[in-house]
Amino acid sequence: MNLDLAHFTPFASLAGGLMIGAAAALLVLCNGRVAGISGIVGTLLQGARTEPGGRAWRVAFVAGLAAAPWLWRLVFGAGSAGLSPTIAASPATLIVAGLLVGLGTRYGSGCTSGHGVCGIARGSLRSFAATGVFMAAGFVTVYAVRHLAGG
């Protein structure tokens, strides 16, 4: 195993983790809601009826997620902290991967943000189990794609 020191960004990663944790904590403290992205987006896409103002905060939350990389780029520049990723996958592979992730969030009753960030912070045993399964599936997938499939 080789560590790619050119792309090793512990301070940017720590800052990102702290911001995610702070955003999740603020949402639960101010709004009483868990920052589970799949639940937030799913509610918007289904057009489900929500509490008064429920649609507005969800739209603002998703808009903030979409705007964050652009804001970072505007403030810190295009090449900062690995903001120009290269994805070595075809569009078809990305679509299939996205669909599989969506399917997994339905079966797992949530995503890594809801279970891994918020659920574990609340001490939820179900979230510990779900996050362990998410991580194990990711490890197995990377190993299979990179080592068994000749990637």
Residues 56-76: tens digit of each pLDDT: 888 998 999 889 878 877 887
For the CA atoms of the chain, what is the radius of gyration?
Answer: 17
Residue 92's pLDDT band, with cuts at 50, 70 and 90, is very high
